[in-house]
Every structure is written in structure tokens, then in C-alpha cells.
Amino acid sequence: MRFLKNLHSIDILLFVTFLPLFFILPVFMKIYAIIGLYFVYKKRLLPLALLGGISILISFYDLAEIKNFEVYLQLLVSLLLWAVYMQRVRGENFYLRLSPYLFFGMGIVAFQNIYMLFYAVFEVFVFLYVNVKEYSKSPLKVATLIFLSSIPMVVVLFLFFPRTSQQHFIFGFSSKSIESGFSKVVNSNSKDLTPTSYPVVEFKLNKDYGKLYLRGGVFYNNVNGVWVRGYGRDELVSFSKMIEYYLKEYPTNSKVIFGVDLPLKSDYGINVDFILLSLKPIKKPLFVKVTSALKYKLKPYRLREDMFLYDKRFNKKAQIIAKELRKIKDERKRLNKLIEIFKSQKIVYTLKVGDVDGKNIVDWIFEHKRGYCTHLASAFALFARMAGLGSRLVGGYLVSGNDGFYKAYTKDAHVWDEILVNGFWVRVDPVEFVYKVDKKTKEALTTPTLSTYLSMVRFMIETWILRYNKKTQKRFLESLKNNLTSYLVGFLGFVLVIYLVVKRIYKKRDILEPLYKKLGKRPNKESVYRFLKGFNDKKLDEINELYYKITYYKSSKEDIKKLKKLIKEYK
């Protein structure tokens, strides 16, 4: 407690600005940051210097790693922390007072994301409070007024100050789990599944398009119930219903970027299966601009044998049913009959399936009538091949929109089919044919509405503020030119709201207001002292004397409490 009582304003600033940077430091520097506080308190300079120097040498012994910007930044923070601790032992000086501002700048560089945005706003407020504290009796109130009053100017500078074309980069707060829920194979032998809720990708569209499929991989070959990627190549015949959007890809340790439906244009590569790909595994949040088609016609560049292959040693019962379906010449009608058969099975969608026979997945599904997307898609694709229709599996995510905002979690990983009908690939999702979804599975796969809205707000702030660059500013200025009146009215309304809030905070509430209500009148062109004296009331005289003392002479908190009590008790 003695240590807390001796805290100075500089200590508050150092703690607040260094706190986020603590989490990016190497382990030994974190230990030094904690143990060093004891030596600062004891004013032991030599142990601080030695321990700090050793911790830095251990943490950054490999000089080659300093070429990495993150490691370089860690080194700068470590050196500054070392210097701050030693300066603090000697007392406050110019260098120590400069240190919080350096920590603040490093924090903004290290964490360019929504969390740091709000924390940086908090840091600015703390800077204001500490500086006002020396000159005001009500530092919190004054700091709040200054902070709010500056917001309109900050908005104007943010929107109109010239931007550079520097690429956006993000350090820190990246997912350490590095999960995607998406696999390089589709294993129909898989048993019970426990869904997780790590974020994978999110994006905002101009309107809500309902459910959307995010393409991640195409699988042609089935070996003992396990589907692996083939070497297909598709030809895009036509496309329409184009959408342009920014998506944020979370760390997945994979090169796959999950674009909406059929990505056609992007800053990154698109392979022959129309899958977005990064050059390196994604280990940091990635922002990608994409143009996709929601309606399109896709056909194989050439028909290949592996689109029709199935192992005739398995699924004997299903083969008998499929043999009859081959007699239907019209491929569209044949597909419709396949769907009708699947619907008639009254399959229950569940994540708890027990032991599965992946080799005989079609017969197993028809017999046990349960499974999740992996089993259903695998069974339907093989059943289609038995009926003479080419097929393949497509893996990715299935997401639903909320006011045009979409976010995929690991639990939204999904597998569906593409069936070859009259030479073109037709998407078929066998999950749509299930009889019902069991209660526990539905609960496990449901995302709370509040969580979705909070994610949408965070994404919009990241898109509009953190990624406000030269191109975005150019688009804003063009929009401003075309809608000047609307923007001006909106800004003036915003300024008015700030003004009313500031006025409300600044307005001093007269402590005698409750007394005036009891008396039924208030002073009019006369002092409070003369006004209250005019009543010839001993209780009012006591209130008057105490109010005069509080207003014009030195008073204590006890005096104010007593005055409030006298007013409350007055009748």
C-alpha cells in the first residue's frame, strides 16, 4: 500500500502506455518487467541494470532475427523499459516524462486493430487528465470537456488530412489457436464432432443475401471413404450478380482465403478451382479486396474418369437402387429423383454419430439415418456417381447474414456437392434434405445475436477507420462532392450533439436548488445571502451561513454533507 501511495502522475502514464506492450515482449523481458518493479521501489540501480542487460541479451541473442520488424519492435520496447526503470530510480526528469509518449507511439504501431483503437482513446484521455490535474480542482470534469470538445476537429482532420499509400499492417492480437475447422481432406469415416467457435473470416456486403457458401477446396477422388483433391480445371461460361467487398481472414496457418461463392478478381491469386490463395500460410489477420459472382455457369474443361469413379465392392444396396435410376435419360430429372430418395430417408442431422463405415457410407446413411455434412455430402456424391452423374465435393463454410454482415467460425465449416448435369456443375447441399436437426446440434451451431452485432460493429470500425487510406479517402471526397448537403447536415447534427453533452457537463447544478423548490421561489436580482435573510428563519440562517462559507471561504467535504442534510431536513 505504501508503494501505491507514493505513485506519481508519471507512474500512472507509464503503466497505462506500457501495459499493451507487455504482451508482445519475450518471456524473459516479461519477467524483468515484473521483478524490476521491486528494485525500482527499493531504488536499487545496480540490480536493475544487470538484470535488464542479461534479459535483453538472452531474449535477443540472435541478431539475424532483428531483421523481422516485430522482433525489432520488441527490442526497442525492451531497451526503453530498461532505461525507464533506471531513470525512475533517480527521480523524475525530462527523459522519463518523454517515455510515456514513446510507449504510446510503439503501442499504436504494434497493435493496429480495433482493440488498440479504443485503448488509444483511453490513453489520450489519461494524458489529458494527468496534465489537467496540476491546474484544476476538478480534473476529471475538465479533461472530459476538453476531450469531447476536440472530437469534431479530430473527425475533420481524420477525413481530410492527406493520406499516404502505405500498406496496412497488423501486429499483435493475432489468434494463437490458428484453427480453421477446414481440412485438406474430407473423411467420411469421421465420428462425433465437437464444434469450436474460433473466427475464420468476416465481411460486409451492401445487403443481406441470406446463406452464402465460401469456397475453400474441391475434392474428386474417394479412397476408402476419404476424399482428396484432384487436378480438375473448370471453364467459366457465364456469370452475373457481381458483388465487391473486403473480407478479413483470420490466422488459419493455411494458404486458403475463403471468398464468397465464386471469386473472380482479387489482390491475391485464384487457382483453377476458383479458390483464393495466399503466397504464404496466413498467420496474421489479412484484409483482402474481392469481386465474386453469386450466379454463374461452370463446366469442366474436359470430362475425366475420376468424376464418375466409385468402388463397386462397397455400397451394394445403394448400387441396386442407382441402377434403376440410370434408366432416366434426362439428367436433371435423374438428379431430382436422387434428391427425392434422400428426402424420403428422413435423415437426422447430428454431430453425435458414433462409429461410421466410410467405405459403405451410402448404405450406412440409409440404414442409420443420421450424420453431418461430411457424411451426407460424401454419400450423395457417391450415389450420384452410381446413378451415372459426375460429382465432386466442395469444402469451405456456410454462413448466414445479419444486415449484410457475415462471419464464419470454425463451427461453420461445411461440405457440399457439385453434380454434373448436362455438362455443367450444379451445387447440391444434401444438408437441405435432412428431416430435422437434433436439439443439441442446433444449440452448438447457433451464434448468439449479440455476439454477431458486436462483431459487425468492430468490423465496420476496422474497415472505415483503421483501413482509411489514400484510395478510401478519394472515394469519400467524391461522395462528399455529390452529397455535400447530406454530409453537412449530418456533421452539424453531430456537432450539436457534442455541444449539448458538453453544455450539460459544464453546467453547474446549484446546491440550493432543492431548497428553492421547497420555498417556492428563488433569488431575483439579489444575492443569495439577502434572499435567505429575508425569511427571518433560524434554520434558513444556518443554511445561509454554511452556504456562504462553502462558496467564499475554505471548506471541507463535511461542510457540504452538512449543508445537503440541512436542506433535506428543512420543512
pLDDT of residue 165: 52
Q: What is the pLDDT of residue 416?
A: 96
Q: Residue 348 and residue 370: Cα distance in Å, rounded?
A: 5
- Residue 257 CA to residue 245 CA, distance in Å, equals 14
Q: What is the DSSP string of 521-548?
A: ---SSS-HHHHHHTT--HHHHHHHHHHH
Instruction: Read off the DSSP letter of residue 390.
Output: -
pLDDT at 266: 93
Q: What is the pLDDT of residue 547?
A: 83
Whether the predicted pLDDT of 6 surpasses 70: no
Radius of gyration of the chain (CA): 34
Give the Cα separation of 226 and 184 in Å (integer): 11
Q: What is the pLDDT of residues 131-155, one digit of tens each?
A: 888 777 678 888 888 888 888 888 8
Residue 139 near residue 126, CB atoms below 8 Å: no
The residues, any chain, with a CB within 8 Å of residue 87's CB and separated by 6 or more, are 93, 95, 96, 99
Q: Taking residues 83-104, what's their average pLDDT?
A: 89
Residue-by-residue DSSP string for 14-65: HHHHHHHHHTTS-HHHHHHHHHHHHHHHHT-HHHHHHHHHHHHHHHT--GGG
Strand partners, 398: 213
Q: What number is the average pLDDT over the span 335-343? A: 95
Measured between alpha carbons, how far is 481 from 489 in angstroms, rounded to an integer? Answer: 14
CA distance 88 to 230: 64
User: How does the average pLDDT of the chain come out, rounded?
Assistant: 86
Give me the pLDDT at residue 111, please.
79
DSSP code, position 189? T
pLDDT tens for each residue of 387-441: 999 999 999 999 998 889 999 999 999 999 999 999 999 999 999 999 999 888 8
Q: Is the pLDDT of residue 508 over 70?
A: no
Res. 167: pLDDT tops 60: no
Q: Which residue has the higher pLDDT, 56 or 452?
A: 56
Report the range of poorest mean pLDDT among 38-52, 183-197, 284-298: 183-197
**Given a cut of 90, is residue 516 above it in pLDDT?**
no
pLDDT band per the 50, 70, 90 thresholds, residue 1: very low
What pLDDT is stored for residue 293 in this prediction?
96
Once rounded to an integer, what is the mean pLDDT over residues 105-121?
Answer: 82
Q: Taking Cα atoms as reference points, which of 55, 7, 36, 356 lies closest to residue 187?
A: 356
Report the pLDDT value the prediction gives residue 240, as an integer from 0 to 100: 94
The residue-averaged pLDDT of 521-544 equals: 84
Q: Which of 160, 143, 258, 144 is nearest to 203 (CA)?
A: 258
Per residue in 197-242, pLDDT (tens digit) is 888 999 999 899 999 999 999 999 999 999 998 777 899 999 999 9
The predicted structure's pLDDT at residue 3? 43
Evaluate whether 361 touches 382 at the Cβ level (below 8 Å): yes
Whole-model pTM above 0.85? no
Instruction: Quote the distance between the C-alpha of residue 571 and its chain's center.
Output: 58
Lookup: cell for 403: 444486415
Residues 6+ apart with CB under 8 A from 425: 234, 298, 299, 300, 392, 418, 419
What's the pLDDT at 175?
Answer: 38
Q: Higher pLDDT residue, 78 or 501? A: 78
> Which whole number is the average pLDDT over 366-377?
94
Domain chopping of the chain, boundaries: 2-108, 186-454, 513-569
Please say if the pLDDT value at position 543 is more than 90.
no
Statement: residue 375 has pLDDT above 70:
yes
Strands, E, within 400-481: which ranges?
A: 405-409, 413-421, 424-428, 436-437
What tens digit of pLDDT does each residue of 301-327 get? Answer: 888 888 999 999 999 999 999 999 999
Rounded average pLDDT over 236-259: 92
Q: Could you tell me the pLDDT band of residue 330, with boundaries at 50, 70 and 90?
A: very high
pLDDT at 166 over 80: no
By percentage, how much of the chain surpasses pLDDT 70?
Answer: 94
Residue of 400, 374, 371, 379 lying closest to 187 (CA atoms): 374
Asked if 188 contacts 417 with a C-beta cutoff of 8 angstroms, the reply is no
For 189-217, letters b (16+ CB in 10 Å) and e give bbeebeeeebbbbbbbbeeebeebbbbbb
